[in-house]
Amino acid sequence: GDVLLDVRGLCVEFPAADGRVVQAVRGVSFTVGRGKILGIVGESGSGKSVTSYALLRLLSAPGRVSAGSAVFDGVDLLGVPERSMRRIRGRRIGMIFQNPVGSLNPVLTVGYQMVEAIRTHRDIDRRTAVEISDRVFRDVGFADPAHVMKQYPFRLSGGQNQRVMIAMTMAIEPELLLADEPTTALDVTTQAQVLDQLRRVRDEHGTSIVIISHDIGLIGEISDDVVVMYAGEVCESGPTEQVLREPRHPYTQALLESVPRPETGVTSLLRSIPGELPDPAQESTGCPFAPRCTSAMDVCRTHRPQPLTVSPAWTAACHLYTEERTEATRR
Ligand code: SF4
Ligand code: MG
C-alpha cells in the first residue's frame, strides 16, 4: 500500500527509582506514507525523541514500550527479534540524531568510516563506495570532499560532523529516514542546504522521511503531514498545509504564534508560550495543556479530550470541538 510505517497506540514508560512511573509517550498514533515527509513538532520534553528511539528499539533501560505497534512494511518493529531489527536499523531505516559527534569514531578518518558504513550495508566495491562518498559529501555542501575524507571528526565543527552523518545516512539509501533535530546545531545557510538535500533524497529516491523538530516553521517548510505533540500525546495531526493554515488545537495555534520573528527579536519560541510542560510522573485527568491554555474550560480539567476528526486525515484532541459537536447534537 502507500503506507510505509503505521504507528498505533504507542506508549513508553520509564519506571523511576521511587516506584513512580513516568509516562513519556501516551498512545501516540500516526502513519508515514511512502515517499512522504512527516514532521513531528513539539517542545523539548514532549516525547518526540522518545518516540523515535522507541520505534528503533533504542530506548535506554529502564525505558520500555508498554503498549502499541509500529508496522514497517508489514513487520511490527516492536515485535521482531533483535537480530531482524539489526538488519532493519541502519540499512532500511536510517537515523540522523541531534548529536553527531557521539556517532562517529574519533580515531578513524571520516572517509574511512564513510566507506565502511556504505560497504556494511550495500554490496559494492571500495571504489564505488568512494565515488558515492564523494557525491554525497558534495550534496551536503562540502566543496572539497577529498579533503574532508582525510579528516578526523575532532578536526571538524559540530555542523560539519552533522553533515558527515547526514551524508553517511544518505549514501546507504534507506527506505525510511528518521531525523531528530537534524539542523538544530547548524547555521542558517547550512540548515537550508540540509533541508534541500533531504527534499532531494525524497524526490529522487522516494525515501520516506520523519523529521522531528521544535521549530514549527521548519516543519511547515519541509513536511507533507504534521503531528503536533504535547506532553507525550498527539494533540493535532493532519496535512501540514491545512493544519498550519487553520490550526484547531490551541497548542498548535500557540506554536504558530510564537514562531520567531526577526522584527520582534524573539528567538526562543518556548519563552513566548507561558507556563511549563506538566510533570510526566504526575497522573493528570484532564487535558495536559489546560494549565497553559487560554481557552481552558471546566471540562478541560476533569476530562481528557479524545482525538476528533476535523476532516478525513486531520484530527484534533480538544474539548472546544467536542463541545461544539455536543451543542450541535443538542440543537
Ligand atoms: Fe485548551 Fe481545553 Fe482544548 Fe485542552 S481541551 S487545549 S485546555 S480548550
Ligand atoms: Mg529531543
Residues 85 and 146 in one domain: no
In this predicted structure, the answer to whether residue 112 has a pLDDT above a threshold of 60 is: yes
Report DSSP state, residue 231.
T
97 within a domain of the structure (yes/no): no
Q: What is the pLDDT of residue 270?
A: 44
In CATH, what number is assigned to the domain containing residue 60? 3.40.50.300
112 within a domain of the structure (yes/no): yes
Q: Which residue has the higher pLDDT, 57 or 44?
A: 57
Percent of the chain with pLDDT over 70: 90
For residue 316 and ligand 1, the question of a CB distance below 6 A is answered with no
Residues 210 and 258 in one domain: yes
Residues 31 and 84 in one domain: yes
Residues 63 and 31 in one domain: yes
C-beta neighbour count of 85 within 10 angstroms = 17
In this predicted structure, the answer to whether residue 205 has a pLDDT above a threshold of 90 is: no
In this predicted structure, the answer to whether residue 158 has a pLDDT above a threshold of 50 is: yes
279 within a domain of the structure (yes/no): no
Range of the structural domain that residue 106 is part of:
102-172
The minimum-distance atom of ligand 1 relative to the CA of 251 is 6
For residue 319 and ligand 1, the question of a CB distance below 6 A is answered with yes
Q: What is the pLDDT of residue 281?
A: 65
Domain end call among 119, 146, 172: 172
Is residue 324 very low, low, confident or very high in pLDDT (cuts 50, 70, 90)?
Answer: low
**Cβ-count burial 2-38 (b if 16+ within 10 Å, e if not):** eebbbbeebbbbbeeeeeeeebbbbebbbbbeebbbb
124 within a domain of the structure (yes/no): yes
For residue 317 and ligand 1, the question of a CB distance below 6 A is answered with no
Residues 293 and 160 in one domain: no
- Domain count within the chain: 2
Residue-wise pLDDT for 137-153, tens only, equals 998 889 999 999 999 99
Domain end call among 172, 206, 224: 172
For residue 269 and ligand 1, the question of a CB distance below 6 A is answered with no
Residues 76 and 145 in one domain: no
315 within a domain of the structure (yes/no): yes
For residue 288 and ligand 1, the question of a CB distance below 6 A is answered with no
Burial class (CB in 10 A: 0-12, 13-18, 19+), 322: middle
Q: What is the pLDDT of residue 12?
A: 97
Residues in the chain: 331
pTM equals 0.89
11 within a domain of the structure (yes/no): yes
Q: What is the pLDDT of residue 223?
A: 97
Pocket test for ligand 1, best of 303, 320, 322, 325 (most atoms within 8 A of CB): 320
For residue 259 and ligand 1, the question of a CB distance below 6 A is answered with no
The minimum-distance atom of ligand 1 relative to the CA of 294 is 1
Is residue 3 very low, low, confident or very high in pLDDT (cuts 50, 70, 90)?
Answer: very high
Q: What is the pLDDT of residue 283?
A: 67
Distance separating alpha carbons of residues 261 and 169, to the nearest angstrom: 33
Residues 295 and 179 in one domain: yes
| DSSP states along 232-301 | TEEEEEEEHHHHHHS--SHHHHHHHHTS--TTTT---TGGGS-S-PPPTTS---S-TTGGG-TT--HHHH
66 within a domain of the structure (yes/no): yes
Distance separating alpha carbons of residues 75 and 124, to the nearest angstrom: 27
What mean pLDDT, rounded, does the chain reach?
88
263 within a domain of the structure (yes/no): yes
Residues 165 and 196 in one domain: no
Q: What is the pLDDT of residue 201?
A: 87
Residues 113 and 31 in one domain: no
Cα 34 to ligand 1 centre (Å): 33
In this predicted structure, the answer to whether residue 136 has a pLDDT above a threshold of 80 is: yes
Cα 210 to ligand 2 centre (Å): 13
Residues 214 and 150 in one domain: no
Judged by its nearest atom, the ligand closest to the C-alpha of residue 301 is 1
Domain end call among 123, 139, 172: 172
Is residue 17 very low, low, confident or very high in pLDDT (cuts 50, 70, 90)?
Answer: confident
Residues 190 and 122 in one domain: no
Q: Which residue has the higher pLDDT, 211 or 264?
A: 211
Residues 84 and 117 in one domain: no
Q: What is the pLDDT of residue 93?
A: 96
